[in-house]
Chains A and B, each alone.
Chain A
């Protein structure tokens, strides 16, 4: 984020309850820098490897991300920025005019809680770097709860420091983040180069053309096939929709109205492409490559080998397993055998652990101390504004408590969340849920801004009627979430896709309920 941009769009600063004046508008370059920095974060080190754990193939990953990111950029450019540059209001003020103060409070609470959990995942990422130094037991891919005292202390130290710094000196960290941003992008790129070279070496491949590189990607790096046990299989459409919707709260959900209200033109929305193709393409691919390499070079341990050799009637030999990579298929087969032996009482406990993408060790193997620094700084600089924003959201609900105290408590909640590895290990699902939760309000804003008058209804109804809770918007939000939940639970639609039909449900519901609601309580105006 540039200096100028940082000073003006920092949460809670200027023009909170008025349109941004012409003199405060920013140029295209400010948005390029801001998006490139914001979307190259600590969580990218988790998301890339989770794609590998989900069993993506090279084509699905590369083409899916190109398409998904393009759809995300289009969503910013065609849905969010046009409203932002016309109304020039913050999301919260725009929502307050439509929904009323009480409903916005509920929205703030939801947003604040989700920010806390997201910051928790960032703290988790940073804490994995400490594990490389202090050698404590780190959580596994399918762990939900903290698994060692060392882990709890590491998260407590990382999260506590982040919380204190966010409460005391948001601006200092924001300035540091500006300096760190280009450095971080290049360290991610270096991860990619190092990971690729190591793949070339361990597979003894000779790359003479782009075709050779593609073959390596397809046959060794992202082979597709089964996901790791406990993970959902990701196809081309999963990757595309995840790329599109992982920032759904910001584009279709309209959070970035607060950012693009400073843009001179609505087409500045394309600046989000810098964040998408640097952070959500290059950084994810680089991080994914590091975990794919870890899987490729890891061999079945003695225990797993014995299970496979002794229980598969000669299918596997010691020689074969000594040279075999630890594939999801192999792990699953060994786990099935182990489960059966455990149920039969032959073995007292289950010992097979699924390989876990831990950003700290992955980055350390690729770039040494710089890799560890990158993990810590990426987690810290992105958790800082996230905790700050969550604090602001909560402070809007309890305005009498100081920002310092609210931010500190928010940081502590994020730290406690960070102790639970589930938020980071299930980040693909969490991000999808986050987008889904806030998406209906984006549909409400979209309809209220562009369509509602065409149906003979009042836009910004709460402001016009003086209502504190616009039930049409409230119903559109809550009923849509209920319907999405039913679709996921009973109709077999996965969480990654449900927000697309959900948006249309919210839009239609808002119009229909407004038609009934606004008729009954027509404002005097």
Chain B
């Protein structure tokens, strides 16, 4: 599960930057870039928040 969320996080960060590169290359519209970046941002923060909770639970478990 952790690996999957990590993978989703990595993909979201790629999806965050690629649209602006495609826009620079003239292959994507700016509105599409903005929407895709917003979705990637939501996924990035969600995935990493879950990972941070997971890490915290693990540390708490170890301390117990």
Contact = CB atoms under 8 A, between A and B. Distances in A.
A193 B24 contact: yes
A373 interface: yes
A197 B33 CA distance: 12
A461 to B, nearest CB: 44
B48 A370 contact: no
Given A183-B13, A368-B38, A190 B45 contact: no
Q: Which of A3, A182, A190 has the most CB of B within 10 A?
A: A190
B24 A197 contact: yes
Nearest to B52: A175
Nearest to B48: A179
B11 interface: no
Nearest to A370: B37
Contact of B41 (A189, A193, A370): A370
A193 B23 CA distance: 8
A340 B17 CA distance: 50
B15 to A, nearest CB: 10
A276 B20 CA distance: 23
Contact of A186 (B16, B30, B34): B16
A189 B20 contact: yes
A367 interface: yes
Contacts of A193: 20-21, 23-24
A407 B46 CA distance: 29
Given A367-B34, A370-B34, A194 B16 contact: no
A175 B24 CA distance: 33
A190 B55 contact: no
A368 B19 CA distance: 13
A3 B55 contact: yes
Interface of B: 13, 16-17, 19-21, 23-24, 26, 30, 33-35, 37-38, 41, 44-45, 48-49, 52, 55
14 contacts: A179-B48, A189-B20, A190-B16, A190-B17, A193-B21, A193-B24, A194-B20, A194-B33, A197-B23, A367-B20, A367-B34, A369-B38, A370-B34, A373-B41
